[in-house]
Every structure is written in C-alpha cells, then in structure tokens.
Amino acid sequence: MVINSSIRYQRERLTIDDIDLESIVNEVGTPAYVYSLARIRDNFSCLNAALAPVHARLHFSVKANGNLDVLRTLKEVGAGFDCVSGGEIFRALNAGAAAKDIVFAGVGKTCSEIEYAVGRGVGWINAENLGELAHIDAIAAEADRQSVKVALRLNPQVTANTHPYMATGHGAAKFGLTSDVIRQNLNAPERYPRLDMTGIHMHVGSQLGDSKSTLAALDKLLALARDFPQIKTINLGGGLPVAYHLGETPPSLAPLAAELARRLNPYTVLLEPGRSLVADAGVLVADVLYVKRQAGQTFVIVDASMAELIRPALYGAHHEIMPLRKTNGETVTTQVVGPVCESADVLARDRDLPPLAPGDKIALMMAGAYGMTMASNYNARPRPPEVVVDGGRWWVSRRRETIEDMLIVEASFRRS
Ligand code: LLP
C-alpha cells in the first residue's frame, strides 16, 4: 500500500524511503518524529512546477517545520524563508539561508526583533501596523541603513473557507491593515524616509478549502496596487491545502496557477508555503502502552500526546493512524489517547483501527507540518527527537530532550 512517494507498506511493514520505521524507533525510542528529506525536495519541485506560470519565488514558512536539516534541504533546492520571530530568523540563518532570502512577518514584532532583522539585512519586512513602520524607520536610521524593503500586509476583509483559528483575512482578524490605511501611507512616503514600501503582502488563511478567498483578496489587493506604480512585488502568503484523509487528493493547482498568472503578470510574486511542502513528509511514531475497555469504548493509550502533536486537540484535526506492522484483523472503533491530564488529549476519536495491543507501534501521518513546532513540555514531557531520512540512511537530527534539559534554565535547579 503506497501512501506517497516516500511512505508505503512493504512486506507489511511501514517504510519511509525504503527504511523500516520500526528499525528507526527501535534505536531512538518513541514518541519520535521522522521526516523524509526526499519527499520535501519532491514537494518543492512539484509546487515550483505547478506554479511555473506565475514565476513565484517560494519562501518556506518556518513555523510549519523549523528543523535545521529540513531548512537546509529547502535552502539547497532554492527556497527562501518566511520567518515570524527573531528565533525563526536565527534558525533560518543557522541553516545557511542568506538574510536577503528571508521575509519577516508577524503582527507584533518587538523592537529587538526588528533590530536583529534590519541588522542582519533580511530581504523584506511584512508590516502590519503603523507603530511598526515608525519603529522600522527609526531602527534603519540608527543602523545607518538607507532603505529597508517593506511590504504592507493587507487585511482584505475576506473570510477564508477553513478552520476559524486558521482564517486570517476577515475584517475582525488582528492581522494586516485595511486598504484605506495602506493607501494613506503609500501616499505619504516622506513619513518613513528609510522605508522602501514597494510590496504588498496578504495571507488569508491556512489549509484553505478552496481558492475563492485567495482570488477575492487578490482582486482587492490589485485594485490597491494599480493606484501605486511603485508597488512591484506581491506576496500572496501561504495556505495551500494538503489531504489529511487517506484516499483524498488535494485539488490540482493548475486552475489557481492560471488565474494567478493572468492577474499577476507585471509583478514579482512571492509565496509563503508551509504545510504543503512538509506535512506529508513526516510521521510521529508512538508506542501503545495500554488498551482499556471501559464504558463501551476501546481506549488505546499511547506514549504520544497533545504535547507532541496538538493539532487534534486544538483544531479537531484528523491524522490517519497506521500501525507500523500491517494487520488484517477486523477493525475496532477505537479512541487513541495520550497520557496527558486533559480530556482534550485524544489523538483520534472513534477511529476504525485493527486491534492494537501493548507494544504495537503506530504512525500518526501528515505530521511533518505544525507537529514538532507546536510541541510543548506540558506535563513536563521532554520533546521528542526528530529523525531525518535521506539517501538510504537516517540520523537523529534533533535528539530527544531529557528531563534535565527542561530544568536547566531554572535558577534553582540542583544537579544531583
Ligand atoms: N504566511 C503567513 C503570514 C502565515 O500566517 C502562515 C501560516 C503561512 C504563511 C504558512 O501557511 P501554510 O502554507 O502552512 O498554510 N498551526 C496551524 C496552522 C497555522 C498557520 C499559521 N500561519 C495548523 O496546525 O494547521
């Protein structure tokens, strides 16, 4: 059974780029994230090919997966980066990114983050409020930088078809500036002598159910941009959807690419894809600790939880569950839960799964995006390792945290 070009069952074992996942977790333990770098390269080249008519430059959204080997891999195939904090800029630079290939976004950048970004010479700052423009201008003057490229982020007042927590373009959202405010500021560039405001940015949401909101927002953006000939660059943000359910395929990008190409011909186009480049390249492997039948339900208690993968608890997100050893037994309606002391700590609800027993290992699929980056130490759980697979071999890219790691930053920690 083939899940994608990298992940498939071979001789009843779940493999990633032909390596038996069980052989990896036998060495590194569970829970563990495992990523295929080949799949990430594939996703990047497919997306580039699909968007060829638009000539878009892809800036990978680091918030989806900040692993240094993942970032380095994307840098090597030609990606730039979309960062939303000083920490993400530091990560991207550490992975070898050139500062000019970084766009810096975020609704609440601190002065020290702006100083860092300007000091390092990031390519673009996507700005979202007027106070921020004043800060960037002052910081550029202090750093003796003649000009900093700024793309004002438009709030297009368009509601995206997605989970409400991932919709960012509607009027009530905290993101962006209204077109009136953008117009006023583009009309008065003398207010910000060090800012080169030649770009406009938008991002209407993530895991978009269709392209209607993107195109509606783009039309509003273009109506604005056409009145300001200095606008040469348009950044469309991220949001391309992936298929979380087995057997589902994401919509073809061809119609959207054609629409974008038609509208964006005169402009330099940037995109900030996150999920679509990495989600299907990663799995989270967990071990079954106990099986408990109670109140007419079957609970499979595993050693991964909402601390390692928060998406099901936070968004009701669906992640397929694949046993590392394929079995053909009759399926059982199962609640797959973690050890965390919250009723929300359910990784899969009412899922028909083959019978599982303690010691069985399962993979939570499509965990390469917003998995490890959103992991926490809740319940004092050390964050899991990240393993990368490439060219027939694998290595621990980030080791498992230890219980000491979690205390080391506390002043009264005493080593015993
Ligand atoms: N650009 C901006 C300005 C963004 O806010 C985001 C995502 C992206 C790009 C990348 O979007 P993507 O291509 O990955 O859809 N934690 C949620 C997703 C939150 C997305 C936040 N912003 C999840 O687990 O689904």
CATH 2.40.37.10 domain range(s) in the chain = 7-36+279-407
261-293 pLDDT tens trace: 999 999 999 999 999 999 999 999 999 999 999
CATH 3.20.20.10 domain residues, the chain: 37-278
Residue 1 has pLDDT above 90, yes or no: no
Question: Which tokens hold the place of 353?
Answer: 């799964």
Mean pLDDT, the chain, as a whole number?
96
Which ligand 1 atom is at minimum distance from the Cα of 166? 19
Characterize the bridge pairing of strands 233-235 and 195-201: parallel
- Indicate whether this model's pTM tops 0.95: yes
Q: Give me the pLDDT at residue 375, please.
A: 98
Instruction: Please compute the mean of the pLDDT values over residues 219-244 and round it to a whole number.
Output: 96
Q: What is the mean pLDDT of residues 139-149?
A: 97
- Annotated catalytic, 46? no
Q: Per-residue pLDDT for 171 more than 90?
A: no
Question: Would the CB of 273 count as within 6 Å of ligand 1?
Answer: yes
pLDDT tens per residue across span 190-206: 999 999 999 999 999 99
Which is the closest atom of ligand 1 to the Cα of 273? Answer: 13
Write out the H or E segment, with its range, that includes residue 219.
helix 212-225
User: CA of 72: how far to CAs of 80, 98, 302, 339, 374, in Å?
Assistant: 11, 11, 32, 34, 20
> DSSP label at 306?
T
Looking at domain 7-36+279-407, its CATH class is: mainly beta
Evaluate: CB of 370 within 6 angstroms of ligand 1.
Answer: yes
Catalytic residue among 46, 83, 111, 341: 341
pLDDT at res. 189: 87
For residues 103-118, give the mean pLDDT. Answer: 98
Q: State pLDDT tens for residues 321-352.
A: 999 999 888 999 999 999 999 999 999 999 99
8 CA to centre of ligand 1 in angstroms: 27
For range 245-263, the mean pLDDT:
93
Which pair of tokens denotes residue 80? 């730039």
Q: How far apart are CA 405 and CA 54, in angstroms?
A: 46
Q: How far does the centroid of ligand 1 lie from the alpha carbon of residue 228, in Å?
A: 28
Nearest CA residue ID for atom 20, ligand 1: 206
DSSP alpha helix (H) spans, 1-110: 21-28, 37-50, 68-76, 86-94
Residue 20 confidence (pLDDT)? 98
Q: Quick one: tokens of 403?
A: 């219980």
C-alpha 24 – ligand 1 centre gap (Å): 30
**242 Cβ inside 6 Å of ligand 1:** no
Fold type of domain 37-278? TIM Barrel (3.20.20)
**Whole-number CA gyration radius for the chain:** 23
Burial class (CB in 10 A: 0-12, 13-18, 19+), 270: buried
- Inform me whether the pLDDT recorded for 373 exceeds 80: yes
Please state, in angstroms and rounded to a whole number, the distance separating the CA atoms of residues 63 and 14: 28
**Most ligand 1 atoms within 8 A of CB, residue of 57, 62, 63, 177 to mutate:** 63
pLDDT reported for residue 242: 96
Across 114-129, average pLDDT: 97
